[in-house]
Amino acid sequence: MPIRKVSLVNGEIYHICNKSIAGFKIFNDYRDYDRIVGLMSFYIADEVPYSFSTYKKIQNPGLIFQRRLVDIVAYCIMPTHIHLILKQNLVDGIERFMGLISNSYSKYFNMRHSRKGPLWEGRFQNVLINNDEQLLHLTRYIHLNPVTAFLVNDPGEWKYSSYKEYIDPDASEKRLCNYHGLLSIKPESYKKFVLDQIDYQRQLAIIKNVSLEN
């Protein structure tokens, strides 16, 4: 996935990936995962009127976030990296959003784990998504990441992705994603669309790993 240094465009949708330095495990337990998801929901706002610690105590904070840097279309948090599908709403919205969540998480992680130094490999990677079909298949790819890595056998078992928001939109009280108007999907059809690909995506991952090692 190439690193693009050109400015990202408002209204366009991008696949974003941010990796830890040297494949270091940066999400170790539920506290780490919950922290990055919380930061994603917090820094989506163009202007943050209070601290993150205050935000966590508010019952329905999303109501005041009228101007959003980005819309999160889908996401998956893995032990060493994060996948996001983002629609940019404001100029430099993705740059600002990624910078805020990455820097804030680095400070939290280094303090909690008594560590010093950079946490991320470098600037996030991004690829423009060109059409609806590509977008749909990409959501499946990132939702299957934990299955492909053999962390779980079913994507619904992985708590730190948007998969459950797709297959059961009414079940999540703290929704992060906004894919309405971008994807026309029905929960049961989407679930089948994802699950039918498990074996194939795992095989592709195995072949890729073997080819890289030879």
- Whether the CB-CB separation of 19 and 120 falls below 8 Å is answered with yes
Contacts 24+ apart (CB under 8 A), 172-178: 174/41, 176/37, 176/40, 176/41, 176/72, 176/75, 177/72, 177/73, 177/74, 177/75, 178/71, 178/72, 178/73, 178/87
Q: Which has the closest alpha carbon to 185: 161, 168, 160?
A: 168
Residues 132-169 have pLDDT tens digits of: 999 999 999 999 999 999 999 999 999 999 999 999 87
- DSSP class of residue 5? -
Residues 179-202 have pLDDT tens digits of: 888 988 899 999 999 998 888 787
| Torsion sign across C-alpha atoms 105, 177, 131, 209 | positive
pLDDT at 12: 95
pLDDT at 60: 55
Tokens of 125: 């990677």
CA distance 128 to 200: 25
pLDDT at 169: 72
What mean pLDDT, rounded, does the chain reach?
A: 87
Residues 97-120 have pLDDT tens digits of: 999 999 999 999 999 999 999 999
Is the pTM higher than 0.95? The answer reads no
- DSSP class of residue 68? B
Sketch out the chain's domains with CATH numbers: 13-213 (3.30.70.1290)
pLDDT at 5 over 50: yes
- Whether the CB-CB separation of 89 and 156 falls below 8 Å is answered with no
Instruction: State the pLDDT confidence band at 3, using cuts at 50, 70 and 90.
Output: very low
